[in-house]
A and B are shown apart, each in its own frame.
Chain A
Amino acid sequence: MTGKKQLMIEPSWCKGCGICVAFCPREALELMNGKVHLKDADSCVLCGMCEMRCPDYAIYLKNAEE
C-alpha cells in the first residue's frame, strides 16, 4: 500500500485561494493565472499538506500508476 505517490492537480476545480501555496512546507507550488501550478516538482516531497487544506479538492496525492 505504500507505493509511490504522485501529485495531481484538477485546474478546473481550483479557485486560486492560495492556501496550498502558503502552507506547502517546501514552497513547491505557485499561482499562475489564478490557478495552482507545480513550480518545482523536485522539491515536492509528496507530504500531502496541500491536499489536506485545499477547500476545493483540486490538489491531491494519488498512487502512481505502474
Chain B
Amino acid sequence: MPSDLIHEYMRIDHLPHIWCAGCGNGTIMRDVAVALDELITDPEFALTRDQVVIVSGIGCSSRAAGYMDFNSIHTTHGRAIAFATGIKLANPRLEVIVLTGDGDASAIGGNHLIHAARRNIGLTVICFDNLIYGMTGGQYSPVTPHGDKATTAPYGNVDRPFDVAKLAEGAGASYTARGDIYHVRETIDIIKQGIKHKGFSLIDVYSTCPTYYGRKNKKGEAVDMLKWQKENLIPVSKYYTLSEQAKEGKLVIGPLHHSNYPEYSAEYAKIIEACKEAKKGK
C-alpha cells in the first residue's frame, strides 16, 4: 500500500515506475502531486481536479503524464507545449501543466518554448532538467555543461549550455524559477507559484540521472548527486545574504523572475468579445 497522497493522485496500477534507482524524476513527480494537492485543498485557490491537465512530450521524464491520475496526454517529442497551447486556448479555465525534459523542452521543442513564452500563454512548464538525454542513452542536450561527457561527446562537450530559465525569461516568460531534488519544500512552493501565476511559467528543476549523466561524468551515486545539490544550490532567501566569496561556484534556486504582463488566452478572449459586440451593433 502506498501513502494516501500517492494513492489519491497516481495511477498506482502503473507503479512502481520504470525510472532507474535514484532517478530524480520520481521526486519531481511527487512534488507536482503535493503542489496540486495543496492547491486543490486550499479554499482560496479552489482548484478542482477536473481543471488540471497534464501534458508531456517524450523522454524518461515525460512518462510522468502516464503515472499522474489527472486529465493527461502524452504527446510527441518536443511538442508538449504546442498541444498544451491548443488545450489552453480551447478552454482557458483549465490549468495546463507541461512536464518535459531538458531535451524535449530546449532542443527539439525549443521553438515552441520560446514562442509560448513570447505569447505569455498561461501554461506551467516544469522542466525535469537532468542535463542529458536519458531515454535514448545519454546523448548531450542543449543544457549539458561545457566540457561534460555524453555518449555523443566522449571527449567533452564543445558547446555552451542554455540556462532554460533565462532562455524563457529572455523570450518573455512572466514567471521563472529553479528547483532541485534536494530542496523539496522550496521546489513544491515554486511549482505552486507557477501554477497560480496567470501568465507563462517555466520551472527548471535540476534533476539527477545517475545512470547516464552521473556515470559518464563520475558524479557518483544518486546520494552523491543529492549531496552536491545540498551544498551548491542555495535557496534565494539565503543566497543573497552570502558574501561574494561564499557565492563562488554556487547557484541560486527559488523564484527568479516575475512580471504581470497580460496573459495570452485572456487577451484572445477580449478579441472574441469585441468581435461579438461589433456584430451585434451591425
Contact = CB atoms under 8 A, between A and B. Distances in A.
Interface string A25-63: 000000000000000000000000001111111101110
Contact of B17 (A17, A53, A56, A62): A56
Given A12-B16, A56-B26, A57-B15, A17 B222 contact: yes
Interface stretch (B1-9, B81-89, B165-173, B197-205): B1-9
Contact of A17 (B4, B16, B21, B30): B21
Contacts of A12: 16
Q: Main secondary structure on chain A at its contact with chain B?
A: mixed
B21 A16 contact: yes
A37 to B, nearest CB: 16
Contact of B23 (A21, A22, A23, A55): A55
A12 B3 CA distance: 14
Contacts, number: 70
A54 B181 CA distance: 10
A64 B52 CA distance: 31
B37 to A, nearest CB: 14
B145 interface: no
Given A12-B16, A15-B22, A17-B22, A52 B184 contact: yes
The range of chain B's interface size is 20 to 34
B226 A57 contact: no
B2 A55 contact: no
A66 to B, nearest CB: 17
A60 B3 contact: yes
B3 A57 contact: yes
Contacts of A52: 184-185
Contacts of B182: 53
B42 to A, nearest CB: 16
A35 B23 CA distance: 16
Interface of B: 1-4, 6, 10, 15-17, 19-27, 30, 181-182, 184-185, 221-223, 226-227
